[in-house]
Amino acid sequence: MPNCKSCYTPITWTISPAGKLLPLDSRPYVILLRDQLVAAPAPATTRYRIDQIGDELHAVKDPEGTYVSHWVTCPTREQHREAHR
Ligand SMILES: [Zn+2]
């Protein structure tokens, strides 16, 4: 299982609706919240479910989805933003 290079959280690489690579937190974020591993993302945070299509994992926007982008929960997200700019 891959890990975030910044915070070592397990992540799952998926393909976003826009066709780009998108790392989702491997653990459903409700569990991350319960275990207080992350601060609560804003209610407007996009939720995803993961659909496997062939060998590819696709992040599908789903209001009931249990996954969120790791960019939202990563404690070092400010650095990510710099790195990905
Ligand atoms: Zn991270």
Structure-derived torsion over alpha carbons of residues 29, 39, 61, 12, reported in degrees to the nearest 10: -50
Q: Is residue 6 part of a domain?
A: no
**Beta-bridge partner residues of 49:** 60
Spatial separation of the C-alpha atoms in residues 61 and 46, rounded to whole Å: 7
- Note if the pTM is more than 0.85: no
**Ligand 1 midpoint to CA 24 (Å):** 10
**Ligand 1 midpoint to CA 9 (Å):** 6
Q: Is residue 69 part of a domain?
A: yes
Q: What is the pLDDT of residues 35-69, one digit of tens each?
A: 887 777 677 789 999 999 999 999 999 998 999 99
Q: Is residue 2 part of a domain?
A: no
Q: Is residue 50 part of a domain?
A: yes
Q: What is the pLDDT of residues 18-41, one digit of tens each?
A: 999 999 999 888 787 788 877 776
Provide the residues around ligand 1 (an ion) whose CB is within 5 A: 4, 6-7, 9, 74
Q: Is residue 78 part of a domain?
A: yes
Number of domain units in the chain: 1
Q: Is residue 4 part of a domain?
A: no
Range of the domain at 56: 11-84
